[in-house]
Amino acid sequence: MSGSRPELPGGPYLVVGLARSGIAAALALHARGEQAIGVDAGVPDVTRLRAAGVEVHLDAPGTDLVSRARTLVKSPGVPQDAPVVRAARDAGLAVIGEVELAWRLLPNDFIAVTGTNGKTTTTELLGHVHRTAGLPVTVAGNVGTAVTTLIGALDPAATIVCETSSYQLEDTLAFAPEAAILLNVTPDHLDRHGTLEAYREAKLEAFRRQTAAGVAVTSTALAAALPGDARRVTFGAAADGATVALHDDGTISWEGAPLMAAAEIGIPGPHNRENAMAAAAVALARGVDAAAVREALRSFGGVAHRLEPIAERDGVAYVNDSKATNVDATQVALRSYAPGTVHLIAGGVPKAQDFAPLAPLVAERCAAVYLIGEGAGEIGAALASSGTPLHDVGDMERAVAAASAAARPGEVVLLSPACASFDQYPNFEARGDHFRRLVEER
């Protein structure tokens, strides 16, 4: 059970950004009897807020509402330099995020999972580990369920496994989870953070205020970068002294004792082996039974939108990797398939990334690339040197049709966009679902 949490900064509360987490935060505050005012620069569906009696302002910057509040609760999609956020800071308001709000109001142990890639898989896997061990658990955060929805509705003995993005972590003030995992850090969201260093620093907020009673898990390569006072637990090669260690013979050990063969892990690929080792590290460090951890790693089947097999048509496999919203994730996906067999669908919002590192893998693994969305031209220019046929098809319908017509038995049509979805879809889930529908209709 967690220790005491700091009190919330005082209200009234101005909740800025009324997507999923903002709505949940406003409803949670309202249910506590606090005055919550919601504002959004767009016109999202706020039916639930209005039905509850929450004051809402839409298509509005919100700067005129700052004088009515003492605390601003910022949704992760709202940038730090938004006028309303700047005005709140200038006026001396506390500015917190939805994860910080929930953490202060929930007595449960938190396991925060962060990193550039693998967060959702590792979060869901940790939920599976706890369920396999018969331990109460709920999975929330960036993975889909806004964590503030759990306030007043969760067994205090349950562990919350919370996928936390850099956007969420940069809005923390006192957040100190009982355990935290940093899987990896590669360039992503540079359009928001500006530099890789600033992006990494946002991730490290998960560890910065941890105490000696906490657990901090990361790879051996990143261990020296972790701030905070928590116990360090590492995963990686045995030669590097990892706590959860992969040996040359393909076995995995925990603190020197055999755990399982890497080949037994139920989700394929070296990236998933690292995700599984990270999940094992935090679970074992927190006292979960090793036999349950082993069984869970064997039986876990993966998550939607992450190298998810959709169908096979005339010997061609269709795979949904819509969650691959950065270059590194698409590289991981391409390495999962045989040379020359991939018909890659890529594109969307570029997020200030360098796509050039994709070119060697595209040259090696792809039969063709089908470019969609806002980033098509930029990606095409970066891949021109690959010598692989590039088709600027514009949208998903044309991409699936063209790839399906060209693919031969034994090949794969892979949606792995390397980009955000917001030019053509509300989120990566909607993009992946559209891909699935198009494949199922063929």
Active-site residue, selected from the candidate residues 30, 74, 108, 119:
119
Any known ligand binding at 115? yes
Any known ligand binding at 116? yes
Which tokens sit at 344? 């890659």
* Three-state secondary structure string covering 355-377: CCCHHHHHHHHEEEEEEECCCHH
Any known ligand binding at 120? yes
| DSSP per-residue letters across 308-355 | EEEEEETTEEEEE-TT--SHHHHHHHHTTS-TT-EEEEE-SB-TT---
Specify whether 326 is catalytic.
no
Specify whether 343 is catalytic.
no
CB within 8 Å of 45: residues ≥ 6 apart: none
Question: Which residue's structure tokens are 């039916």?
Answer: 47
Residue 71, SS3 per DSSP: strand
Residue 286, SS3 per DSSP: coil
| DSSP per-residue letters across 206-240 | TTTT--TTSEEEEETTTGGG--SSSEEEEEEEGGG
**What does DSSP say about strands 251-254 and 257-261: parallel, antiparallel, or unpaired?**
antiparallel
Active-site residue, selected from the candidate residues 108, 142, 320, 326:
142
Any known ligand binding at 118? yes
- The sign of the CA dihedral 156, 160, 165, 169 is positive
Active-site residue, selected from the candidate residues 189, 343, 351, 391:
189
How many DSSP H helices and E strands does the chain contain?
15, 20
Residue 63, SS3 per DSSP: helix
State the DSSP code for 174: S
Q: What angle do CA 240, 246, 252 make, to 5 degrees?
A: 135
Any known ligand binding at 121? yes
Specify whether 189 is catalytic.
yes
Q: Report the Cα–Cα distance between both ends of the chain, in Å, rounded.
A: 51
Please tell me whether the peptide bond between 12 and the residue prior to it is cis, using omega within 30 degrees of 0: yes
Q: How far apart are CA 442 and CA 428, in angstroms?
A: 22
Beta bridge partners of 252: 246, 260
Which tokens sit at 237? 């090669």
Which residues participate in catalysis according to the annotation?
119, 142, 189
| Binding site, annotated residues for ATP | 115-121
| Binding site, annotated residues | 115-121
